[in-house]
Structure 1
Amino acid sequence: MASNSSREVMPPRVAVIGAGLSGLVLARSLSVSGFPVKVFDKGRGLAGRMSTRHRDGGTFDHGAQYFTARDPEFQRTVRTWLERGIVEEWHGRFGSLAHGRVTPETRGPMRYVGVPGMSAVAQGVASGVDVRTGVRVEQVRREGEAWALTSETGEALGTFDVVVAAVPAPQAVALLSASPALVARAAEARMEPCWAVMASFDAPVSLPLDGVFVKDSPLSWAARDSSKPGRPPGERWVLHATPEFTREHLEETPEAVAPLLVGAFARASGLELSPRQVVAHRWRYARAEPALSEGALFDAELRLGACGDWCAGSRVEGAFLSGMALSRKIALLQR
């Protein structure tokens, strides 16, 4: 009979709350290493702020617009995504816009987008990962040496050895309540909101740019979304409001906000704009200002942690690096 010391040690069971890029990167990394991982997300689909909306016969990247790759580890991963065909380079025309004056970008970073939408990146990462959508985790409760998760409907979701909150910082605070130190650190990450508008046009908008940083306006960004590779034909634009405008209009309806931002785009461009269809979406937690510097949060004794772009810089790259950083911390539990 085998002794207890010779028995194989089973890897910890991990629950990841949130199916944005950071949570999926973490889950995939641990799954490949042999950890049993289950991901829960309250949404109907994956990707979080990298999601793609389908409307009016076309698609809109209404959250993250593109990403760059500076970190060597992320650069290597992006190369594999390019080889798999889930991302491509966006060779658009970029620049700034203020009061009708266009200033083209003379030199900028290589920009990448998911194909056929930004959500393709998250879907590719999620391949082989056990993900359950449409479930909001309401309670994370300690039961002996394990964690018991319960949904908002009272459904028992299982017990796990490790729990990770891969959600925006304000939402992570409630899930990390067993660790006052983690709560205090997560509360330091302030997240700014953003109203986004998706507008379809019957004719091309006569602006000589595809991606525009807008100055002196309620808008911060405007993009000809249909100029990205792999997109359906048509003329579709995504407009992002400034944090200041969004905070001022945070609780207004999408129907009230949409025309305000289309009007702001018309004033900034000096063009008459008549969209065929326009829809607004509010991102209550869009960007961390400032983001934390740890990369990820983890209490090894409680086996409780958090990851997200708010831990490692408010970019797609930051979300990826945060998920990888936490996967390394959790992997140490097996040693």
Structure 2
Amino acid sequence: MFDVAIVGAGISGLICAQQLRQAGYRVVLMEKSRGLGGRVTTRRLQDTCADRGLSYLTPNGELTTRFVELLKSQDIVTVWTDTRHEFKADFGLKTVKGEPLYIAPNGMSAIARFLAKDLEVQLSRRVVGLNLFNDCWHLQFESSNTEVIAKAVVMAIPAPQALVLIESFAAPRVLDSLRKVEFSACISAIARYPTNTPLPSWRSLTVLDDDTLAWIGNDSSKRLGNTLPIFVFHSSAKFAQTYIDTEDLQPVGQLLLAKAAKLFPELANFDWLQCDRWRYAFPTVSLADHCLDARTPQPLFFCGDWCGGINLESAMRSGLAAAEQINQVLQPTLS
């Protein structure tokens, strides 16, 4: 029995959980994956690692600016570069100076682990049922006879995933709001190259107006003392839409790298390749409000980067807003 159950351990869910825990509520955080952070995640690779989702932080508001300063003070993030590169077929390679990009030398998942400190987290727990009984929410899980019972629930997951769980009982207004939210997908590939192979010197490259590639990053440049050349490739939304349901992503990743090799021939000869799919990578149509209230007899709220924006700033603000709404509802009943 918990005061609040939060579904989804991405940035919004972690922020919401920490706020409520610090306010004195008993909170449980449930995540369907084996790791924390949502797209803020890192893949371990032999003696090193690579960021397979979010590759860097760019402070774009008050909350993210303060958050980066906090992470810097804890030696979790540092400046990666303030020089970006862009590539477009009609003008080639272009250097762009701008605001610094921040990375975690130990992998971006270190950010999620920092946010999860002192939280009760249940990993590999996919919620498949949500029912209201005796003034409490009962959450059921895939391949498990156990359940979690809570007075309030926060769905900190993409709107299409939340919709599946609540469409049998939620009000039409709430269902319509969730259905309006749209996302673009992304397929990412991690490739290791032979040691001492001449490779591009840039760190972050945005590929403009391309049907296949969107971004290439020199991930090994983030790691202190790393000598293994590792690059990360992100597909365009159009490419991902075509291949997102492909069962075997390995040939899809090879298509990504084939396009990269056309632009930069030195990227052609890699040792190995690993791929990931992100079905809900980037919100393209979001809600105006920072969180969504289901207006059910017991508190049920939705939050995420798709509430009030489309980026990390909106994800953080949404998690805080959901925690504030939960506190306003539960505080009188708990006092």
TM-score when normalising by structure 2: 0.91
Q: Which residue of 2 aligns with 1:3?
A: none
Q: Which residue of 2 aligns with 1:295?
A: 290
In the TM superposition, residue 132 of structure 1 has moved relative to its aligned partner by 0.6
Q: For the residues of structure 1 that align with 2:148 and 2:69, how far apart are their CA atoms? A: 37
Residues 190 and 288 of structure 1 are in contact (CA less than 8 Å); yes or no, is this contact kept in structure 2? yes
Q: 1:81 aligns with which of 71, 89, 93?
A: 71
Residues 7 and 29 of structure 2 are in contact (CA less than 8 Å); yes or no, is this contact kept in structure 1? yes
In the TM superposition, residue 290 of structure 1 has moved relative to its aligned partner by 1.7
Q: Which residue of 2 aligns with 1:5?
A: none
Q: For the residues of structure 2 that align with 1:258 and 1:301, how far apart are their CA atoms? A: 44
Give the 3 Å change call, closer, same or farther, for CA 184–276 of structure 1 in structure 2: same
Q: For the residues of structure 1 that align with 2:292 and 2:234, how far apart are their CA atoms? A: 30
Q: For the residues of structure 2 that align with 1:323 and 1:231, how far apart are their CA atoms? A: 36
Q: Which residue of 1 aligns with 2:170?
A: 179
Q: Which residue of 2 aligns with 1:327?
A: 323
Q: Could you say what secondary structure the match of 2:63 adopts?
A: helix
Q: For the residues of structure 2 that align with 1:231 and 1:18, how far apart are their CA atoms? A: 34
In the TM superposition, residue 256 of structure 1 has moved relative to its aligned partner by 1.2
Q: For the residues of structure 1 that align with 2:192 and 2:83, how far apart are their CA atoms? A: 19
1:71 maps to a residue whose letter is: G
Q: Does 1:40 align with 2:30?
A: yes
Number of residue pairs matched by the alignment = 324
Deviations 1:15-38 (A, max 9, x none): 001111110110011100101100
Q: Which residue of 2 aligns with 1:160?
A: 150
TM-score when normalising by structure 1: 0.91
Q: 2:311 aligns with which of 310, 315, 324?
A: 315
Q: Which residue of 2 aligns with 1:104?
A: 95
In the TM superposition, residue 173 of structure 1 has moved relative to its aligned partner by 0.7
Q: Could you say what secondary structure the match of 2:191 adopts?
A: strand
Q: Which residue of 2 aligns with 1:190?
A: 182
Q: Could you say what secondary structure the match of 1:112 adopts?
A: strand
Q: Which residue of 2 aligns with 1:91?
A: 81
Q: For the residues of structure 1 that align with 2:250 and 2:278, how far apart are their CA atoms? A: 15
Q: Which residue of 1 aligns with 2:111?
A: 121
**Structure 2: segments with no counterpart, 5+ residues:** none
Q: For the residues of structure 1 that align with 2:312 and 2:223, how far apart are their CA atoms? A: 18
Residues 63 and 316 of structure 2 are in contact (CA less than 8 Å); yes or no, is this contact kept in structure 1? no
In the TM superposition, residue 78 of structure 1 has moved relative to its aligned partner by 2.1
**Structure 1: segments with no counterpart, 5+ residues:** 1-11
Q: For the residues of structure 2 that align with 1:251 and 1:328, how far apart are their CA atoms? A: 37
Q: For the residues of structure 2 that align with 1:46 and 1:24, how far apart are their CA atoms? A: 9
In the TM superposition, residue 146 of structure 1 has moved relative to its aligned partner by 1.1
2:162 maps to a residue whose letter is: A
Residues 82 and 99 of structure 2 are in contact (CA less than 8 Å); yes or no, is this contact kept in structure 1? no
Q: For the residues of structure 2 that align with 1:92 and 1:70, how far apart are their CA atoms? A: 15
Q: Which residue of 1 aligns with 2:301?
A: 305
Residues 92 and 210 of structure 1 are in contact (CA less than 8 Å); yes or no, is this contact kept in structure 2? no
Q: Does 1:199 align with 2:191?
A: yes
2:75 maps to a residue whose letter is: G
Q: Which residue of 2 aligns with 1:251?
A: 245
In the TM superposition, residue 226 of structure 1 has moved relative to its aligned partner by 1.2
CA RMSD of aligned residues (A): 2.0
Residues 10 and 39 of structure 2 are in contact (CA less than 8 Å); yes or no, is this contact kept in structure 1? yes
In the TM superposition, residue 57 of structure 1 has moved relative to its aligned partner by 3.1
Residues 117 and 231 of structure 1 are in contact (CA less than 8 Å); yes or no, is this contact kept in structure 2? no
Residues 83 and 98 of structure 2 are in contact (CA less than 8 Å); yes or no, is this contact kept in structure 1? no
The more displaced of 217-226 and 307-316 is: 307-316
1:264 maps to a residue whose letter is: K
